[in-house]
Structure 1
Amino acid sequence: MSKAMLNEEYALFLGCTIPIKNQEFEKASRLVLGELGMSLENMDGAGCCPNPVAIQSLNMETWMALAARNIAIAETLDLDVLTLCAGCFETLRSVNHMLKNDSKYKRKVNEILGKAGYEYMGSLDVHHFVSILSQDEMLDKIKSLVTRNLDLKVSSHYGCHLIRPSAHMNFDDPERPLSIDKIMKRIGVQTLDSSEKMTCCGYCARLHPEIGQALSERKMMELQGINADCVVAACPACANQLSNAQRLHNKEETSSSELDVPILYVTELLALAFGHEPRELRMKTKMIRPTALLEKIAEN
């Protein structure tokens, strides 16, 4: 596994879902990353990553060209890319890896990009914030900034795209990842293990939503059964899927019990640990309200 070089400044790739549906994830991330000494440059003109499942399956060249255009924008800033979304991370890092290692792909993509006035050079790297924050130097910084005792039991949700395909992502063990757990332990929370820890959230089963719903429900039922205070996620699609699946479950008249496990972004929990107030982080706007979690924090 490779170790990313820590930089002070990154080109921030926001993607589509966070700016449209989860602005609270962006706010928490900007707060936390700023306090950790990282400067983020906006990528003006960037588009969809695009989707690492749907677009890639439909047309490989289109998928690669759109991703390469985003990377080319970052290259004009002379900065490595930092993503907040695991799906964006998989697309941009995979395409960057493929183009750097296959001159035929690179030549074809640049023929397409040239028509729009762009060129992919292959001069930078792509990171997810988890791959940066889980490094020893950053873990020490995180611990030094903790001002609030959270005393929580959390389950880390890695999902499918953050650590796979491992040949491209190459920063954590794809079968037994620890990066998010390391971050959580540095802010003093207890991380839980479960048989469903590595289960897909179900978001990508869009053509058969009942499959995705079943995957999410099974996972959340187990986590509620072991008294998890929350799930921490690093992908907005996963966070939204796991929240919405609980909402749909609770609406079913045949449901024998209600699911009530809030989904927080990694950076939201870090922001709470750093002393930011729940109101500032818009905690009460979540689909699954973290009422019990916030009461527990207030007692400490």
Structure 2
Amino acid sequence: MDSMERSRIAVAGASGLIGDALARSLTADGHEVVRLVRRAPRTAGEVRWDPERGSVDAAGLAGCDAVVNLAGAGVGDRRWTAEYKERIRTSRVGGTDALARAVAGLPEDVRPRVFLNGSAIGYYGETGDRAVDESAPPGEGFLPEVCVEWEAAAAPAREAGVRTVFSRTGLVVARGGGAWGRLFPLFRAGLGGRMGDGSQYWSFVALHDEVAALRHLLDTEGLSGPFNVTAPQPATNREVTEAMSRVLRRPALFPVPAPVLRTVLGEMAGDVLGSARVLPARLLESGFRFAFPGVEEAIRAAAAR
């Protein structure tokens, strides 16, 4: 896909934090964005799908240069009950399988050339102080299991000869959603603080760099397989706390003890207290350069938006 040409790109999850930012970036550069929606389409730029039921109006994808799948129930949106864990799994695995099959089933002359499927650094599980890149095996637990199934569900597209890429995204630094969407108001109110002992690594990425990386993966022929979309300088939770305090000029006086987090968040607390020191080795090797490689500059960029 040539970034200089006007392309037609289908985006699932275009109403989410990353999907919306990607769609706006593509549209601003003259590309046509086709949004996958779960209701009856209202415009020619919408295509109906139902990820939970595994259905896609495949005809709406015909002639697209690329399909981007960023859809899925939010991992941090609510407490992990057994029911919600199943929703997290099916919304990702079922949606990816439906899109991959729809792409693979199109005639070759109208089939998208690229299938960019969202994934997450949850693939690696708990890594402690050990730095990992894309060569590392999956970890153990719920999120690694979901990520393995999620990526495997894209097999029909890859087997049909479509260049298939997985963006294993870290914690996105943005005011509009995700983990940082919750941190900003807490710190502005003077209620921020480290979580647990603060030694756990947070592998983050500025929203600007996330979008730029996705476009790089779409535009660069020959790139396929997993790419960690995380800044090259993972930060500890203590370092994140100190940077937030400096940028927002608020004291960070209220550390949250680990037992309290486990009581409030349940199993999801493991995702907050766990340490994932993830490096974007393949992304850097492919020539991508981060605009905001450090956590403080990523926070400043988000605060200024």
User: For this structure pair, what is the TM-score category when the shorter chain's length is used for normalisation?
Assistant: 0.3 to 0.5
Q: TM-score, normalised by structure 1?
A: 0.34
Q: TM-score, normalised by structure 2?
A: 0.33
| Higher relative helix content | 1
